[in-house]
Amino acid sequence: MSVNFGRQTASGHLHVPSESKEPYPTDVLEQLSLEAEQVIARYPQPRSALLPLLHLVQSLDGYITGRGIDFCARTLDLTTAEVSGVATFYTQYKRHPNGEYTVGVCTNTLCAIMGGDQIWETVSEHLGIGHDETTEDGKITLERVECNAACDYAPVVMTNWEFFDNQTPDSTVQLVDDLRSGAPVAPTRGPSRVCSFKEVSRVLAGFTDGLADEGIGAGPASLRGVELAKREGWTAPGEESAASVDAQPSATADGPGGGLAAGQRTSVDTPANEPDERPGGQDAQEQAKEDDK
Ligand code: FES
């Protein structure tokens, strides 16, 4: 199966390349089927195994191929449309050949104002590719990514979902150059090396590589709040206060002793919308019908 990297057209995000529908060789299909059985055995319903099976396809093909969609559909007794619907919903599933390393620059709010936007512009220009595009050598797929819950180390860059904390435009250019040349690259936290996209996809399919507990997870900045709470003796509400809340009379819309101010309502008191009810109540519905005419 030939692989074309490089720039993507808009339709490239929606349609898998026709050559990716070439069937798997018999020996590859046998091994894939054996591993799919192991994945499916973890779930009460076979169809629940779809997400890890899509990762398994990516671990083999490097993206969600047409033959991979066929395989998942046949294995899980789903339609190819159902499998495609899931594969196009989640951004971790790639609809065209992905690079060996997905480099994600966080440009969400905190990282952006801490320098993420400059990192993005510098690296995108350096590599000559935009979002979800891959260098011609197939090494780097560049992405703008949303918050990685690592704002305490902003601006953050991810490489195959490993953290590179407190980055700068220069350090990120060095990172992608090292990845392309094959120089050793170590994340700031976690394991001592970055696995390939295919290797990581296999882990996401549920086949461990033994690296999950390697290195530190939460660094000093992430633990500062916990240390401060320990020093000051602050604790979260414990069982005692939870029990006293349970012991209170049940809340009513305006009854005394329910823990609510007079006139306050709980969500329990609020009737749910009817399934086909338009928002805004009867008057708004009537108005909407008039507007529809
Ligand atoms: S905004 Fe970038 S990690 Fe949260």
Q: For the chain, give every domain's residue range.
A: 10-87, 101-204
Asked if pLDDT for residue 69 goes beyond 70, the answer is: yes
Best of 118, 147, 152 for a ligand 1 pocket test (most atoms within 8 Å of beta carbon): 147
pLDDT (average), residues 271-290: 49
Cβ neighbours of residue 90 closer than 8 Å, sequence gap 6 or more:
51
**pLDDT at site 167:** 98
Paired strand residues for 141: 102, 134
Residue among 50, 79, 64 nearest 16 (CA):
64
Best of 105, 111, 152, 158 for a ligand 1 pocket test (most atoms within 8 Å of beta carbon): 111
**pLDDT at site 12:** 53
Sheet holding 162-164, edge to edge: 133-134, 140-145, 101-106, 157-159, 162-164
- Ligand 1 center to residue 114 CA distance, Å? 10
- Residue pLDDT, tens place only, 177-223: 999 999 999 999 989 999 999 999 999 999 998 888 888 888 889 99
- Ligand 1 center to residue 43 CA distance, Å? 33
pLDDT (average), residues 126-153: 95
pLDDT (average), residues 69-89: 96
Backbone dihedral region for residue 64 (phi beyond 0: left; psi -120 to 50: alpha; all else: beta): beta
Its CATH architecture, for the domain 101-204, is: 3-Layer(aba) Sandwich (3.40)
Please give the class, per CATH, of domain 10-87.
mainly alpha
**Which ranges constitute the DSSP H helices of 62-196?**
66-76, 80-87, 109-111, 117-127, 169-181
**pLDDT at site 269:** 44
What average pLDDT does the chain have?
A: 84
Ligand 1 contact, 108 CB (< 6 A): yes
The backbone torsions φ and ψ at residue 6, rounded to the nearest 5 degrees and listed phi first, read: 95, -160
- Ligand 1 center to residue 153 CA distance, Å? 8
- CB burial of residue 21 (10 Å; 0-12, 13-18, 19+): middle
- Ligand 1 center to residue 185 CA distance, Å? 22
Ligand 1 contact, 106 CB (< 6 A): yes
Q: What is the pTM of this model?
A: 0.75
**pLDDT at site 217:** 82
The encoded tokens of residue 189 equal 């936290």
- Ligand 1 center to residue 158 CA distance, Å? 11
User: What is the rounded CA–CA span in Å between residue 111 and residue 23?
Assistant: 43
Which carries the bigger pLDDT value, residue 32 or residue 7? 32
Residue among 283, 54, 140, 139 nearest 131 (CA):
140
Q: Are 72 and 112 within 8 A, CB to CB?
A: no
Q: Are 85 and 38 within 8 A, CB to CB?
A: no
Asked if pLDDT for residue 8 goes beyond 80, the answer is: no
Report the Cα 202 to chain-centroid distance in Å: 15
Ligand 1 contact, 105 CB (< 6 A): no
**pLDDT at site 263:** 47
- Ligand 1 center to residue 79 CA distance, Å? 37
